Amino acid sequence: MTQKQEIHQSRADQPSQAKGSILKLEFGQNRVFELDIRQRVDAYFQQRAGRSRTGSWQMYLKTVVVLTCSAIFYVLLAFVARSAWQALPLAILLGLSTAGIGFNIAHDGGHKAYAKALWVNKLMAATMDLVGVSSYAWFWKHAVIHHRYVNITGYDTDIDIGIIGRLSPHSKRLPIHRWQHFYLWPLYGLLASKMQFVDDFKRVIRGRIGKHGFPRPKGWELVIFVAGKMVFLAWAFCIPLLFHTFGVVLFYYGVAVLVLGLTIAVVFQLPHCVEQAAFPVPREGRMENPWAVHQASVTLDFARGNRIVSWPLGGLNYHLEHHLFPTICHIHYPALTKIVEQTCRDHGIKYAEHASFWTGLAAHYRWLRQMGMPGTNISR
Ligand SMILES: [Zn+2]
């Protein structure tokens, strides 16, 4: 495969190759950095002949572990727990393990990074439907829109959370945002249930995500959407209702889904919505920076080298590596991060990271506080 073909393939998630009316935005034409970093990563895989860019036995083992843990927590919660002191920790663990399904299995599947075979990727992506969130709507929102237009106000729907919060310096500030660094955290917790019951349906019915249009699901995509919602409703509500009251089922669903929502929101906010990340604006439908330089300017890694963070988060702490190479399985990111950092340095491009998860969390808290202050419309 020629390098040109590989670039074409690795950009398959991006809107220029996608059907539907995603808003168009051109990036700068100078691709020297992008070509160099791709060459160095190609060389890394060539040196390790036989190493696939997609998953291997580590991924299959991880898949089994994460799915088994989730199933065990669910069975213990629904059928075994006899007191709140048993049920509460199990509901929290179920929330965390379902987040683990999203981070480790569905995310790689959705980016076609889990395996070479398309059907395996689709199957793994569909584990997201099992936990009630449409993998189809998510593919368009995350793999297409967010990945291409990350941190570009009006284009990246991840930084548009409506009037409840202000994540971008180019979004309108409302007086209530003065306290968003306190009240947004519990609202982050509602994110997952909102996707399960509101956003997925709204997006699929309207064929719109923010200002972007996308094709409504048809055929198998629609079958997976409907079946996923039904399977989720069955395990999360119908089966437990055979053994418990409605109030009890709703309460523990609430605990698990709040943990899930908060975990997802935090993990995806630390790399982008912090003071060290840029929020560049297009001028006359164009971004000044080329695509790869843009990704580096708006994305931070966190807790690199910390396996206790990397393993459950599906390598999402190597976030710049993920944004530059979304179709490479996350198990390779710890090796790629040194290549990425060195290439940034060689091209005079800023490489930024949070030393730990906690410093990243503190940075996001400061960013929320800063964005809530009056007079913070900045242009970077
Ligand atoms: Zn992604």
Q: What is the pLDDT of residues 212-256, one digit of tens each?
A: 999 999 999 999 999 999 999 999 999 999 999 999 999 999 999
80 Cα: distance to centroid of ligand 1 (angstroms) = 36
Residue 379, in any domain of the structure = no
79 Cα: distance to centroid of ligand 1 (angstroms) = 35
Residue 274, in any domain of the structure = yes
Residue 31 identity (one-letter amino acid): R
Q: What is the pLDDT of residues 20-60, one digit of tens each?
A: 688 999 999 999 999 999 999 999 998 886 678 888 888 99
Residue 68, in any domain of the structure = yes
175 Cα: distance to centroid of ligand 1 (angstroms) = 33
Range of the domain at 73: 3-372
280 Cα: distance to centroid of ligand 1 (angstroms) = 20
Residue 377, in any domain of the structure = no
Q: What is the pLDDT of residues 111-166, one digit of tens each?
A: 999 999 999 999 999 999 999 999 999 999 999 999 999 999 999 999 999 999 99
Residue 380, in any domain of the structure = no
For 310-340, b/e burial (b = at least 16 CB within 10 A) is: bbbbbbbbbbbbbbbbbbbbbbbbbebbebb
Q: Looking at the whole model, is its pTM more than 0.85?
A: yes
Residue 224, in any domain of the structure = yes
Q: With contact defined as beta carbons under 8 Å apart, do 372 and 179 qualify? A: yes
CB atoms within 10 A of CB 343: 22
242 Cα: distance to centroid of ligand 1 (angstroms) = 38
Residue 205, in any domain of the structure = yes
Residue 31, in any domain of the structure = yes
Cα dihedral sign, 143-56-34-118:
negative
* Phi, psi (degrees; rounded to nearest 5) at 12: -65, -20
Count of domains observed in the chain: 1
Question: Is residue 2's pLDDT more than 50?
Answer: no
* Phi, psi (degrees; rounded to nearest 5) at 50: 95, -15
